[in-house]
Structure 1
C-alpha cells in the first residue's frame, strides 16, 4: 500500500516511482522532471516536493514540470482528484461502482476490483472504428472510461464526476510565442531533445533502439550517444527496396559506433485473427507487429536488454509532409509571393507529386482555412449498418481561445513552414 487516508487508498507497482504530496493528501505516481534541467522534480530536499505540491494545488503542475505521471489526491471538501500528465505512458482507466471511484492502469485489474464482469460496448466499438484517430474517454468495455492525457477528473461520492482538461495545446500557437528565427528554433529543439533524452534514459541500463535510419530514430540514437547511454540498435527489413532500410540504419550505427542487429519478419507468421494488443480496452494495433515484436524480444533477450526505446510519434513532432498544409500556411502568412511557389515545389518534390495540383489544393486550403474540429468519419470496410454519419464525439482538447498563428518553422530550416492543426503537430 502506497497511501491511505479516510477517502483515498492507493496501491502501486514497485517498478513505478512514488512520491507523496507534502501536504499529505495524495501521491504522484510516475516520473516527474523539472522543466529546464534534466533532473527529477523529487529529490532528497523536502523543498523540491513542496514546490511540486504547490504547483499541483495551484493548477499549473504541467506548466512547470513534465514527465509521465498521475496525481491522485483527496481535497478537504471530500472530492477525489486524479490528474494525468499531457504525455503520460501510464494508463488510467476508471469505473464508478457502488458510490466508489476505482482507478487502475490495467482494465482486468480494474474490473476485478470493481467486481464487475467484462462486457463489450458495441456502440463504443463502432465509434472507435469510425473515428480511429480521435481520442475518446469511452472504451470498448461497458462502464470503463479513460482519463486521457492532459485530463483530470474530480469525484464527489456517490456519483458526481467531472472531467476537464488541464492542458491547453493552443497556447503554443499564440503569435507572441512564434519563433521566426530558424537558427534559434533549431537550437531550442536540439537542447530540448538532449535534455529530455538525458532525463528519460537513466544511466546504468542497457537500451535497445528500434533504428530505421530515418529522422526520428536517428535523433534518438544521436541523442543517446551524446548523453553517454549504452544502446544497441535493431532494424527490420523485408524483400524489396521499399522495405529495406538497412543501409540507412548501418550508416547511423557506424557513425555513432553502436552495435546493430538486423531482423527479417516472416510475413507468413502474423495471425490476422489474433489481436496484437488483446489486453487493451481498445485492442487496436497493426497485425505485423506480432512478428516484429517477436524478433525484437528474442534479440533483446540474447543481449540482456533492459529497456526498449524508439522514435514513434516523431512524425507528429517533426512534421510528416504528406499534404499541401505547408504551402497553404505560407500563402496565409506571406501571401502570393515567391515563398509560396518555393514551398509548393519543395513539398511536391518531397512527396513526388504534381506541383500544380498541390499548389491548387494549397490555394483552396489557404482560402478556406481549416477548422480545428474538422474530423471526417472513416467507414471504409465497415458494415453499412454502422451509424457512420453521426457527429464525432467530444474533441480531446478545448477549443482555441484566440486565433492561432497559421504556421511555425519546420525541421528543414529553409524558411518552409509547418502548420498546426489543433492538438498536436499535424501531418502537413
Structure 2
C-alpha cells in the first residue's frame, strides 16, 4: 500500500485514554505520520501520500481513494457529509475504489467500513476501552496494541487453506476488517456491508453473451479511466496475457499517458515479450523489457514482514526491483496492472459452471451446450465433463468447505488448523450456485496477493480489474457464459475483440512461472534448506521435515507440484523470523 495510517477510537463514550493518545502521537511521529483528526472519540494520523477527507466536526473520515458510483468522480467532502448518520451499507452503495470509512461521533457507538475490493488494508487490535486500527501490523506493535506473538494454530490454518483470509490473522490479538464488512463499536462485531450474493444470483442470470460483454467493456473502461486520472504517467505491468492487455486497451481508449513494462523470466515458459510487444505496437504504447534474475531474491527476508500474515511470493522481490527501475526510466508516478483477471473473469478449473447451467435453467439444452464448451476449454471429453458436472449438481445442496492443501505438512499442523474457523462471511449465503461459489472463492483468493508488493512503498499500484463495479458486473454473468465457444474468459474476449490484436484475443496459452520457480530453488537451495530444516516451521512441527528434506536433496530435479510448496514455506519461514 502507498501510504500508512494509524488511529485510536474510543469504545466507552468517556473519551480516549490520555496515555494511549500520547503513545499514538509518539509512534505516529516516529513513522512520519501527521495527526489529521483529534477529538475526544477519534485520533487519526496519516502519511502525506494518503488521501484523507474528514467529516464535519471530526466525526469520521474517508481514507484512501474513492469514486462516486454513476459519475466515477473522485469523492470529495461534500459527497461524504450525507452519509455521517447512515448505515455502513450506504458507503458501499455510493462509493467504490480503495478506501476505509470511519464514522465516530462522540459517545461509544460508531463503525468502520472497508471497501469490498480489498485494495485498501485495515487491521485492528482491541483493548477494553479503545480500538487501534492501522494499515499494517508494525504500527499496531509500535503502539503496543499487539505484542508480535505468532498465533501458530492460525498460521497452520493458513498453510492448510491457502489464500483464505478470515478476520483472525497469524499474529495474536491482530484482526483484519474483512473487505465489504463493517466493524461496529463498541462491541466489535463484523457485519456485511456488501455481499457478492446480491450480485451473483437472481433474474440477471438470463443475460446473453453479447449483453454481458457490452456491459463489461463499458464498466471496465469507466473504471480504468477513473483510476488513471490524477497520475502524470502510469507504468503498465504488461505481460502480454489477456488481462493486462485489456487494461492496456482501456488506458489507450482513455487517452492516458502510459508506458508499459514487461518482464522476461530466464526460462522459456516465462517469456511472453512477443505478445506484450504486439499489444504495445497495436495501441501505440512504449514498451520497456526487463529480465528477471533469480539471484535478486533474498530468501532471508519477507516482503510481508510488516503484515500479520506471510502473504508474499519469493519472485516478487525481483519483480519489484525491475518495475521500480522501469518506472524511473519512464518517469511514471503510479503503477497499474491486470491483477485478478483470471479470478474476476470466471477462469476456473471446475465443472461447476456446467452444473449451474442445469440448476439455473432446469433444462438439458443449455446444460448440453455448457458441457460442450467446458470440454473444449479443458481439452477433455463431453462425457467426462458431464460426469464431473453431475457430481457438482448432486453436491450442490450441501455446504462446501474451502479447499484444503495438506501436502508436506505435519499431522500436528493439520490438527491445529482444524481448531480454527475456515468460514468467510462472503460464502455464508446459501443461495450461490456451485459455479458462482467457485467464482466468489476465486475473487477472495486474489485478495491475499495485494499487499506485500514492495514497489507500493514508492508509488501507488492500481488493480482496476478488481474494482467493485467490475466485480459486480462479472458476478452477474452466468458462470457458464465465461466458457462460451470453448474459450476461457469468453465474455472478456468478446468485450475487447475489436480493441486488441487477434493474437491476444485468440490466444489459448498462458505464461508460467514454473521455470522461474525451479531456477529459484536451484540457485538458493542451501539457504532454503537451512530455512526449512532448521527453522521455526520445523521447530513448531508445522511441516513434514522428512518429506521436505527429501525434496531438497542435492540431486532433486524440482519437478512436480511439491517444489512450489517449498517456495511458499520459505517465505512463511522468513516472515515468522521477523515476529517473536
Mark yes or no: TM-score above 0.5.
Answer: yes
1:135 corresponds to: 165
**Aligned counterparts of 1:144 and 1:389: Cα–Cα separation in 2:** 20
Q: 1:90 to 1:180 in 2, by over 3 A?
A: closer
1:385 corresponds to: 412
Q: Retained in 1: the 8 A contact 2:113–2:180?
A: yes
Structure with more of its chain in strand, by fraction: 1
**Aligned counterparts of 1:148 and 1:12: Cα–Cα separation in 2:** 21
Q: 1:390 to 1:354 in 2, by over 3 A?
A: farther
1:123 corresponds to: 153
Q: Retained in 2: the 8 A contact 1:373–1:395?
A: no
Q: Retained in 1: the 8 A contact 2:236–2:260?
A: yes
Q: 1:394 to 1:331 in 2, by over 3 A?
A: closer
Q: Retained in 2: the 8 A contact 1:74–1:80?
A: yes
**Aligned counterparts of 2:274 and 2:263: Cα–Cα separation in 1:** 11
Are 2:50 and 1:50 equivalent residues in the alignment? no
Matches within 5 A, 1:407-418: 408-409=477-478, 410-411=481-482
**Aligned counterparts of 1:333 and 1:273: Cα–Cα separation in 2:** 51
1:425 corresponds to: none
2:317 corresponds to: 290
Q: Which moved more, 1:324-333 or 1:121-130?
A: 324-333
**Aligned counterparts of 2:311 and 2:231: Cα–Cα separation in 1:** 34
Q: Retained in 2: the 8 A contact 1:330–1:339?
A: yes
Post-superposition Cα deviations, 1:250-283, rounded to whole Å, max 9, x if no partner, equal 1110100001122221234434443232222112
> Higher relative CO (CA 8 A, sep ≥ 6), structure 1 or 2?
2
Residue 154 of structure 1 aligns to a residue whose secondary structure is: strand
Q: Once superposed, what is the RMSD of the aligned Cα atoms?
A: 2.7
Q: How many residues align?
A: 411
Post-superposition Cα deviations, 1:318-365, rounded to whole Å, max 9, x if no partner, equal 111422122222233345645434433333332333443222111221
1:426 corresponds to: none
**Aligned counterparts of 1:204 and 1:377: Cα–Cα separation in 2:** 41
The one of 123, 126, 134 equivalent to 1:104 is 134
**Aligned counterparts of 2:434 and 2:171: Cα–Cα separation in 1:** 39
Q: Which moved more, 1:31-40 or 1:337-346?
A: 337-346
Q: 1:24 to 1:251 in 2, by over 3 A?
A: same
State the TM-score, normalized to the length of structure 2: 0.65
Are 2:72 and 1:41 equivalent residues in the alignment? no
Q: Which moved more, 1:109-118 or 1:303-312?
A: 109-118
Residue 241 of structure 1 and its aligned partner are, at CA, apart by: 4.4
The one of 400, 403, 414 equivalent to 2:429 is 400
Q: Which moved more, 1:11-20 or 1:397-406?
A: 397-406
The one of 298, 316, 337 equivalent to 1:310 is 337
Are 2:419 and 1:365 equivalent residues in the alignment? no
**Aligned counterparts of 2:176 and 2:222: Cα–Cα separation in 1:** 30
Are 2:100 and 1:70 equivalent residues in the alignment? yes
Are 2:38 and 1:4 equivalent residues in the alignment? yes
Q: 1:341 to 1:116 in 2, by over 3 A?
A: closer
2:53 corresponds to: 19
Residue 298 of structure 1 aligns to a residue whose secondary structure is: helix
Structure with more of its chain in helix, by fraction: 2
Residue 149 of structure 1 and its aligned partner are, at CA, apart by: 0.7
The one of 150, 174, 180 equivalent to 1:150 is 180
Q: Retained in 2: the 8 A contact 1:81–1:155?
A: yes
Gap runs ≥5 in structure 2: 1-34, 437-476, 490-580
State the TM-score, normalized to the length of structure 1: 0.87
Q: Which moved more, 1:274-283 or 1:405-414?
A: 405-414
Are 2:377 and 1:350 equivalent residues in the alignment? yes
Post-superposition Cα deviations, 1:145-200, rounded to whole Å, max 9, x if no partner, equal 111111121232xxx42222211211112322334232222111111101111111
